[in-house]
Amino acid sequence: MFSYYLAATLARLADEMVAFTVVLLVLERTDSPALAGVTGAAYALPAVVTGPLLGAWLDRTPYRRTALALNQAVLGVVMLSLLAVVGHSAHWMTPALAAVAGATLPMVSGGFTSMLPSLVPKAQLARANSFEAASFGAATITGPAAAATIAATVSVEAAAVVIAVAATLSVLAISRLPALPPTQAAAEPFLPSVLGGLAHLARTPRLRASTVTTTMVMGASGILLITLPLHMASVGMPKSAAGYLWTALEIGSVTTALLLGRLQTRWRPEYVVIVAAGASGLAMTTWPLATSFVVLLLLAAATGLAEGPMLPAMFAARQQYSPESLQGRVSTIAASLRVGTSALSQATAGLLVPLIGTDKALLVVALTLLTAAALGAIPTKVPAHA
């Protein structure tokens, strides 16, 4: 399992650096929040379409390693291309390049996670999910902090180069993963296979509850991604300092993800997801009150503690409420919904935040998290289909 977590974490590290670095690169070279939002959306939005297709293909193919490696290779090439394009050519080229890298984005989360049931005995899945959440958290902690530090001490361009290097290293790590047989008979027609994954997600209330909540949570994250760099001026810090807030948030999240991972074996996982979303929303309402960067860091860490159990519980919901033959489809479809919602939120935030100000935008983030918890709670009252 060491090879798996190394490969997955390196891939996620590169991905976590992308969102923050691209926003900084566009803001620094063009001073346009709108273009920053559109570029972030362009990176994430193609996943809405490609996620279900990639999931169905992953369930049918023995070439999962090749697909994961190709995704990272494309990311590295695109990041180097953005250095030549942003601020030096027509604005439309920046989101167009970002969209190329984003087309296979569900591979980073859903593609890796869908392999766990094939790699780990069922009795060890809860522990594996906690480590999987830690992998996400480690990448999310290190990614924005590394991007912020490199951008502040060297340049944002150097941060983009580091992403390309991390993507290359992830390709090498992916090559050491074991080849896994397809989980689904390739004889099944492709389109019905895609629709089967969508139908299962829509018709399974407990799985749907978790998916609705975590999708809305990603919408909140998309708004926050644009808001935080712009909010730094109100606490006397440069835009790049926003990366340290993401780090504080994820340190708190990883802490409770590891310490409270057993919650998913005691409570229904969708309940854990809903409670964590609501608790983090309440914590977020305090952010606009912070008058210094240190206080904001502490509030971010506290919010992360509230959010932490959500990710392993989300994995558990997919695994408990889906057969192994649907794991690839369910994971990538859910990932595409989350990424797509984040993309739309980033594009909206790029236009909205300059109009309403960052304090009100932070409250919008908190309200979105509370709404996510409320919407997720509705389907849990419906009996689940076996």
- DSSP assignment of 207-218 equals HHHHHHHHHHHH
SS3 content of the chain, % helix, strand, coil (to 5): 85, 0, 15
Query: Predicted confidence band at 383 (pLDDT cuts at 50, 70, 90)?
Result: very low
Over residues 355-365, mean pLDDT: 93
b/e per residue 1-29 (b: at least 16 CB within 10 A) = eeebbbbbbbbbbbbbbbbbbbbbbbbbb
Residue type, 197: G
Over residues 62-81, mean pLDDT: 84
Task: Using alpha carbons, list the distances in angstroms from residue 313 to 85, 191, 209, 337.
Answer: 40, 30, 12, 17
Q: In this model, does residue 113 exceed pLDDT 80?
A: no
Percent of the chain at pLDDT > 90 equals 21
Largest CA distance in the chain: 61
H/E run at residue 124? none
Write the pLDDT tens digit of every residue in 236-256. Answer: 998 878 888 888 888 888 888
What was the pLDDT predicted at 41?
Answer: 78
Centre a 10 Å sphere on the Cβ of residue 85 and count the other Cβ atoms it contains: 18
Helix, coil or strand: residue 384: coil
Q: Nearest-CA neighbor of 68 among 151, 155, 178, 150?
A: 178
Query: Predicted confidence band at 301 (pLDDT cuts at 50, 70, 90)?
Result: very high
pTM > 0.75: no
Lowest mean pLDDT among 137-141, 231-235, 271-275, 380-384: 380-384
Residue type, 272: V
Q: In this model, does residue 356 exceed pLDDT 90?
A: yes
Q: Name residues whose C-beta falls within 8 Å of residue 206's C-beta, 6 or more positions apart in sequence.
A: 268, 269, 270, 317, 320, 321, 379, 380, 384
Q: Nearest-CA neighbor of 26 among 89, 94, 108?
A: 94
Query: Predicted confidence band at 360 (pLDDT cuts at 50, 70, 90)?
Result: very high
Write the pLDDT tens digit of every residue in 174-188. Answer: 878 777 666 555 556
What was the pLDDT predicted at 33?
Answer: 82
Query: Predicted confidence band at 265 (pLDDT cuts at 50, 70, 90)?
Result: low
What was the pLDDT predicted at 36?
Answer: 84
Over residues 253-281, mean pLDDT: 82
Query: Predicted confidence band at 384 (pLDDT cuts at 50, 70, 90)?
Result: very low
**Domains (ranges, CATH) in the chain?**
2-177+189-381 (1.20.1250.20)
What was the pLDDT predicted at 298?
Answer: 95
Over residues 271-287, mean pLDDT: 93
Over residues 107-130, mean pLDDT: 72
The overall average pLDDT reported for the chain is 82
Lowest mean pLDDT among 40-44, 110-114, 161-165, 267-271: 110-114
Write the pLDDT tens digit of every residue in 175-232. Answer: 787 776 665 555 567 677 777 778 888 888 888 888 899 999 989 988 998 899 899 9
What was the pLDDT predicted at 382?
Answer: 43
Q: In this model, does residue 385 exceed pLDDT 70?
A: no
Write the pLDDT tens digit of every residue in 18-68. Answer: 877 888 888 888 888 888 888 877 887 787 777 777 777 777 777 777 878
Q: In this model, does residue 297 exceed pLDDT 60?
A: yes
Q: In this model, does residue 139 exceed pLDDT 70?
A: yes
Q: Nearest-CA neighbor of 32 among 95, 78, 74, 79?
A: 95
